[in-house]
Amino acid sequence: MPSLPVYLSAWMSFWLWAAGEYRMALAGPGGPSFRRARIVWSVGAVAMAVHIGIAFHWVHDWSQASAIEATAQRLRAMMNWGWGGGVVLNEILLAWWWADAAMAWIRGPRWNRPGGYRSFRRAVFWFLWFNGAAVFASGSRRWIGGLLCAGILWIWWKTRTNDETRDAGLP
């Protein structure tokens, strides 16, 4: 039964990531949409920590080696490549997400402005989520994850022209 809480917590954090990205793409600086985006983004970071905690507690008995080996076995079965480093990448994602959520509260409206950092963060997070939700998922979950990731790309594309005007006048 431990797999159900692991899956549910993973999907909860995935949906919160997508909702946070959606909110951030549409939010103007400092307004109510920005505040909601910041809250959703922060709750998503907490959900990711809960997911990792559940997985380590119920599946891997708090063993990093066990988590890496299980991930390597799954990747070997799928792609004939036994690499378990995705566990470490998820831990880095978690630390980065928490730091970014903290910056949302510290920097306020200056957080998530267009530029290299935001583009890099979006690319890395999207790539990791796509792998978790579309590549490693199976059945209908794979299609749902792929569609959600495609939807995020579409939202980013549609709101890209607003970046220059939305943030005009900010220091």
Q: Helix crossing, 3-26 with 32-54: angle to 10°? A: 160
94 pLDDT band, cuts 50/70/90, is very high
78 pLDDT band, cuts 50/70/90, is confident
What is d(CA 16, CA 56) in angstroms, rounded to the nearest whole number? 21
What is d(CA 153, CA 163) in angstroms, rounded to the nearest whole number? 15
What is d(CA 122, CA 114) in angstroms, rounded to the nearest whole number? 11
31-45 pLDDT, tens digit each: 778 889 999 999 999
Query: Residue ranges per domain, the chain?
Result: 3-166
> Based on C-alpha coordinates, what's the Rg of the chain?
17
Torsion of CA 27, 30, 36, 39, to 10 degrees: 120
pTM: 0.85
pLDDT of residue 162: 54
SS3 11: helix
131: Cβ contacts below 8 Å, ≥ 6 apart:
86
Do 122 and 21 touch, CB atoms closer than 8 A?
A: yes
